[in-house]
Amino acid sequence: MTVDQKPTIPTALASLTDRCPNRDALVTATERITWTELDVRSRGLAAVLADRGVTRRTRVGLLMENGIDWAVHAFAIMRMGAVLVPLSTFLRAPELDQQLRTAAVERLILVDGFRDRNFLDEFKDLLPLGARDGRTPRLPALRSAWRHDELRDAPPSSEKASALEDRVRPADDLAIMFTSGSRGTPKGVIHTHGNALRAVAASLPIRCVRPGDRLYIPMPFFWMGGFGGGLLTVLAAGATLLTEAVPSPESTLELLSRERATLFRGWPDQAARLAAHPLAAETDLSSLRPGSLPAILPPHLRSHPGARANLFGMTETFGPYCGDPLDQDMRPEAWGSCGTPFPGMQVRIATPETGEPTPSGEHGEIQVRGRHLMRGICGRSREEVFTKDGWCRTGDIGHLDDAGRLWHHGRLDDMLKIRGATVYPTEVESALQTIPGIHQAFVTDVPAPDGTPQIAAAVIPEPDTALDEADVLKAARTQLSAFKLPTVLRVLPPGEDVPRLPTGKPNKPALQRLLTE
């Protein structure tokens, strides 16, 4: 896709259906759809939505699990110039209420339920279900909420939908994506057609996604990893997305083998579980190539631990904005870095207190600017989000080295002060993860008996690996200064994980409670 010509969803779909009409767009365990079929079905649904009163700039929430129906509804919304608001299937009624208010959602499309939950029952007091044009006092912007099945019954007005599609421009809002930190309230991040598609296109060479690839992504489509890293990635690349609503080792291995997956970009711990599963030895995964998560690749295709760039990004930049090719080892002096900024993005380090740029190599707040950046955040003024000269304050701590590589050291609100010294949790985590037998490490602070903060760490061992806490600390002493060593260390039993938020991020307060038990 040549996104610089006119980066919009209707243009991208038209280009792809011309070039590879019969190529699979999306494949699940039980269904598949080609790009032509996705184009036809989403165009028909867009006509139905137009007949129901959805028009340009209408904000439409979508509450649905991964699958072909999600893709059809999302592309129908986006191609007609309405604004997609993906909503998490993990949300409870108060959380859904908050996000619908924040994004001022006007129409909502939802499934009956998912994973033993009945959404129609849970949200019946919140939503005007079944109303073609009604309002609820609790959500004054919301005019109607439709079960996704009922939208297939109305006769469409294709002329109205086509007229809306013709008016879509790169500067038009595409989607509002919700994100939050480990403690913050959700933010509704507004992206345009142009910034989103340009961001995805710029990352394709780094993520090694090529035309015709068959990319496995299990992340939910309501998160950036599934939406930008999955659906819009295969649209921009002319590739195929393999996904699951509820992954399991057995179903994932079968899907990867049957569909000849070429790239696996799931969760690192998922890749490790797959590699350790008894079925893995008899599953043909020979189609996977470098650029996939290393645990699932044969040993001769894996990189040296830490030798590949840590892709770095955020919802505000529509995914990664910094990295180096995932199929190539970096030079040793770059190991542990996030690589270099993508074309179209600028990165600088600034002093948090003053906003003034810092010298090369000095730590400070990471700030970003460029054409991949969000338009804004719901309910916040431009002055709250950007500096006067257009830089976005990320809240991340890092530094740029002399070669222009970005090194990430954690969040401003996570930076630890231990006996007067600054400690970055990510630095300690990276050091612990170089110790043989450690799969993942999570570092935070907990109070010492005298009330002062001390470093605490939870480590997850590799499958079938026994770790002794004393041995881990002994190895850590060769990697870290004395003041950075964890005072509290817990090795989790095999198969256990740290507490996590619905977004998949570690739950910091729960992790601290775990480490003080």
Q: Do residues 24 and 165 share a domain?
A: yes
**384 alpha carbon, distance to own chain's centre:** 24
One-letter identity of residue 266: G
Q: Do residues 114 and 94 share a domain?
A: yes
The helix (H) or strand (E) run that includes residue 73 is helix 68-79
Phi first, then psi: what are they for 168, rounded to 5°? -70, 135
505 falls within a domain: yes
Last residue of a domain, one of 396, 411, 426: 411
Using alpha carbons, list the distances in angstroms from residue 266 to 229, 314, 386, 460.
Answer: 10, 17, 32, 18
> In this structure, what CATH number is given to the domain that contains residue 56?
3.40.50.12780
In this structure, what token pair is assigned to residue 62? Answer: 């979508």
**Cα–Cα dist 109/173, whole Å:** 19
482 falls within a domain: yes
**Cα–Cα dist 176/305, whole Å:** 36
CB 355 within 8 A of CB 387: yes
Q: Do residues 78 and 184 share a domain?
A: yes
Q: How large is the greatest C-alpha to C-alpha distance in the chain, in angstroms?
A: 72
Phi first, then psi: what are they for 105, rounded to 5°? -65, 130
pLDDT in tens, 168-213: 999 999 999 998 644 456 799 999 999 999 999 999 999 999 999 9
> In this structure, what CATH number is given to the domain that contains residue 351?
2.30.38.10
Q: Do residues 386 and 500 share a domain?
A: no
pLDDT lower than 70: segments of the chain: 1-5, 130-137, 153-157, 180-185, 420, 502-504
> In this structure, what CATH number is given to the domain that contains residue 506?
3.30.300.30
Quote the Cα angle for 30-32-34, to 5°: 175
**Cα–Cα dist 511/517, whole Å:** 10
pLDDT value of position 154: 53
**162 alpha carbon, distance to own chain's centre:** 31
Q: Do residues 334 and 445 share a domain?
A: no
Using alpha carbons, list the distances in angstroms from residue 195 to 181, 204, 217, 387, 405.
Answer: 23, 15, 22, 19, 23
Domain that holds residue 483: 416-516
Q: Do residues 398 and 433 share a domain?
A: no
The helix (H) or strand (E) run that includes residue 41 is helix 35-51
Q: Do residues 364 and 430 share a domain?
A: no
Number of domains in the chain: 3
Q: Do residues 148 and 164 share a domain?
A: yes
* C-alpha dihedral sign at 429, 432, 433, 438: negative
Q: Do residues 37 and 63 share a domain?
A: yes
pLDDT in tens, 393-443: 998 999 999 999 999 988 887 777 787 677 878 878 888 988 998 988 999
Q: Do residues 350 and 424 share a domain?
A: no
Q: Do residues 396 and 492 share a domain?
A: no
210 falls within a domain: no
Last residue of a domain, one of 411, 441, 474: 411
Q: Any residues with CB less than 8 A from the CB of 332 and at least 6 apart, and which? A: 307
280 falls within a domain: no
Q: Any residues with CB less than 8 A from the CB of 367 and at least 6 apart, and which? A: 347, 348, 349, 350, 387, 391, 392, 393, 394
Q: Do residues 79 and 167 share a domain?
A: yes
One-letter identity of residue 256: L
In this structure, what token pair is assigned to residue 238? Answer: 């002319």
**Cα–Cα dist 2/69, whole Å:** 27
64 falls within a domain: yes
Last residue of a domain, one of 195, 212, 246: 195
2 falls within a domain: no
pLDDT value of position 182: 41
pLDDT value of position 142: 92
Q: Any residues with CB less than 8 A from the CB of 250 and at least 6 apart, and which? A: 277, 279
169 falls within a domain: yes
In this structure, what token pair is assigned to residue 16? Answer: 């792809």
Say whether pTM exceeds 0.85. no
33 falls within a domain: yes
